[in-house]
Amino acid sequence: MAGSKCTRLNGALIKQVLDSVDSVLFDCDGVIWRGDSAVPGAAEVINLLKKHGKNVYFVTNNSSKTRKLYAQKMGRMGFNVEEEDVFGTAYCTAMYLKTVANYKGKVYLIGSNALKQELEDVGIQQTGVGPDHISGAPSDWANVPLDPEVKAVVVGFDEHFSYMKVNRAMQYLNDPSCLFVATNTDTRLPLEGGKAVPGTGSLVTAVEMAAQRQAQKVGKPNGFMVDCVASQCGGLDRSRCMMVGDRLDTDIMLGTNCGLKTVLTLTGVNTLADAQAHQGSGCPERQKMVPDYYVESIADLLPFLQG
């Protein structure tokens, strides 16, 4: 499989690459769907890969849904997917706290009901989900009541994100022994029609700046996401595994960090020009964001899979 990076994946090369892998990891937003619309041909690609005997997993930095809800969404779109195939950062953050941090206390959660559910499923209680309205003066904010059982702050996607939530997180994090964990740092979430909304990274940065601390990030490009897949599927031969995504700084860097083959699809955040700029930069760190291959859409794989 030697050759230059950032190569167009088409023709006979598709068969060569797919024959060299047993497992394929897909990002979701911007790869198999945009918002609530499936990328044309994506469901057929996923279902045919499974029919061809490939192990297919989904690794998404989006923490707004549980594994079960993601599987249900995919099922409605025509994807043949089981709950156990899905590794979102809500689930992986819960697993990180349980297995890596060996955390036993309560969490102050800036996040969704999905993240709350995944934490509770592994026995971790939380406080903080829902609106937190501001009242009083700055002196009141600095002395906001804190739950003494909280020994960790977790930040994920939160549609109720507010000044008071940043403040409350900061007050907990003034204790240096308080853990600080973030699901991911994606700056934007791509939607259909080329639109986007702020991602979790925007929220995480606000809390980091206020707390003057850096969060431990669970999501891509952290290799813990791949560790989660490997631990659940009984092992993963990384030399025969491929990561497919639309973001260079998360999906492609994850693949590079974990020794996987990488494919950039141009249906989401980053462009071919972005990848080529990294390739020509001469910067070793930016080289980690250069994919081995690129496709216009994962539907480019259909001719081989249907043949």
Which two structure tokens, joined as six digits, stand for 211?
Answer: 């707390």
- Rounded CA-CA distance 48/279 in Å is 32
Containing H/E element for 103?
none
Give me the residues paired with residue 8 across strands.
Answer: 294
Which two structure tokens, joined as six digits, stand for 106?
Answer: 């309560």
CB neighbours of 58 closer than 8 A, spacing ≥ 6?
A: 25, 26, 27, 28, 32, 70, 74, 81, 85, 86, 87, 88
Active-site residue numbers?
27, 29
- Rounded CA-CA distance 303/4 in Å is 24
State the CB neighbour count (10 A cutoff) for residue 275: 21
Residues recorded for the chain: 307
Beta carbons of 111 and 63 less than 8 angstroms apart: yes
Chain mean position to CA 253: 12
- Which alpha helices (H) appear in the chain, and where do they start and end? 12-19, 42-51, 67-76, 89-95, 113-121, 138-142, 163-173, 200-211, 224-233, 253-258, 272-279, 284-287, 302-306
